[in-house]
C-alpha cells in the first residue's frame, strides 16, 4: 500500500519531489493606473517685461522720448491648486497664485524746438513704483512620456490677473517737482504657455521643475497729483506686461 501511494504521488508530480514552495505562485505585476485628483503647491521667481508706458500728457508736449523705457525687477511668487490626472498623457489643474511686488523704474525727457528747429530739452521725469498680482488660471498639460522617472511636459492656460500698481512717484529734478499716484488694481485676461520636467519621487509625490511664459495684460495707477495739488491728471498706463517665470512645484496624488 505504501509503495502504491508513493507511485501515485510520483505520477501526479511527474516524479519530482513535492515541496511547500511549489504551491506558491508569484502574483502578477501591478498594472500602472492613471487618473485621480492631486494637490499642487509652487514657489518661484518672476522675470517681468513692460511693453510701454502711456499718459495723456505725453501728447501735450512737442518733444517727448524715453531715456529708459522702464522695467520691473524680479519678484517671488507662490501658488496653490488642485488638478486631475485623466490618463498617462493628459492632466489639468486650476491655480491661485500671488506674485509679490516687483519694483519699477523709468526715465523720460520732454522739450520743444527752437527757431532753428533744434531740439531743446526742458526737463526729465524719473518714475518709480511697484507692481503685484493675484493670478487665477486653468491649465491643461500633455505629458510626453516617462524615462527613468522623469516626465517632460508642455501645456497652456487661460485665466485672469488682478494687476496692482502701488507707490508710484514722478520726480522732476530740473523743475524740483514731485507727483504721486494712489494705488489702483485692474482685472485683465491672462494666458500662459508652460514647459517643464516632473520627477516622480514616490507613487504619490512628484517634483515639478517648470517654466511659464505669462501674458498679464495691462495695469494702471490711480490719478496723478502734484505734491502741491496744483496738478491733477489721469493715470499712468502700463501696457502689455509679460513675464518669464521659473517655478518649483510639488504634486501630491490623492488616489
Q: Tens digit of pLDDT for each residue in 168-184?
A: 999 999 988 899 999 99
**Statement: residue 30 has pLDDT above 50:** no
Nearest to 112 by CA among 103, 97, 122: 122
Kindly write down the DSSP assignment for every residue of the chain, as one continuous string: -HHHHHHHHHHHTTTPPP-GGGG--PPPPPPP---EEEEEEEEEEE-EEEEEEE-GGGGGSSEEEEEEEEEE--EEEEEEEEEEE-SSSEEEEEEEEEEEEEEEEEEEEEEEE-TTS-EEEEEEEEEEEEEEEEEEEEEEEEE---BTTEEEEEEEEEEEEEEEEEEEEEEETTTTEEEEE--EEEEEEEEEEEEEEEEESSSSEEEEEEEEEEEEEEEE---EEETTSS-EE-PPEEEEEEEEEEEEEEEEE--
In this prediction the pTM is 0.82
Mean pLDDT of all residues belonging to the chain = 88
Q: Tell me the CATH number for domain 42-253.
A: 2.40.160.20
Model pLDDT for residues 82-137, shown as the tens digit of each residue: 999 999 999 999 999 999 999 999 999 999 998 888 999 999 999 999 999 999 99
User: How many residues would you count in the chain?
Assistant: 255
Q: Domain locations in the chain?
A: 42-253
Q: What is the pLDDT of residue 230?
A: 85
Amino acid at each position: 500500500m505504501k509503495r502504491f501511494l508513493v507511485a501515485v504521488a510520483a505520477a501526479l508530480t511527474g516524479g519530482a519531489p513535492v515541496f511547500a514552495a511549489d504551491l506558491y505562485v508569484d502574483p502578477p505585476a501591478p498594472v500602472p493606473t492613471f487618473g485621480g485628483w492631486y494637490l499642487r503647491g509652487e514657489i518661484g521667481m518672476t522675470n517681468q517685461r513692460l511693453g510701454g508706458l502711456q499718459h495723456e500728457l505725453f501728447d501735450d508736449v512737442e518733444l517727448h522720448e524715453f531715456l529708459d523705457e522702464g522695467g520691473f525687477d524680479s519678484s517671488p511668487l507662490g501658488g496653490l491648486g488642485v488638478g486631475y490626472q485623466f490618463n498617462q498623457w493628459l492632466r489639468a489643474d486650476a491655480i491661485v497664485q500671488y506674485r509679490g511686488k516687483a519694483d519699477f523704474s523709468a526715465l523720460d525727457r520732454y522739450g520743444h524746438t527752437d527757431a532753428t528747429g533744434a531740439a531743446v530739452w526742458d526737463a526729465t521725469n524719473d518714475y518709480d513704483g511697484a507692481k503685484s498680482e493675484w493670478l487665477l488660471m486653468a491649465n491643461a498639460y500633455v505629458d510626453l512620456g516617462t524615462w527613468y522617472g522623469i516626465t517632460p511636459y508642455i501645456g497652456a492656460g487661460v485665466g485672469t490677473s488682478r494687476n496692482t500698481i502701488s507707490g508710484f512717484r514722478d520726480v522732476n529734478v530740473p523743475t524740483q517737482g514731485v507727483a504721486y499716484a494712489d494705488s489702483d488694481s485692474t482685472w485683465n485676461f491672462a494666458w500662459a504657455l508652460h514647459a517643464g520636467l516632473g520627477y516622480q519621487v514616490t507613487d504619490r509625490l512628484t517634483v515639478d521643475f517648470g517654466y511659464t511664459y505669462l501674458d498679464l495684460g495691462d495695469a494702471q495707477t490711480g490719478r496723478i497729483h502734484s505734491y502741491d495739488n496744483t496738478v491733477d491728471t489721469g493715470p499712468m498706463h502700463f501696457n502689455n506686461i509679460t513675464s518669464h517665470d521659473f517655478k518649483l512645484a510639488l504634486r501630491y496624488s490623492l488616489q
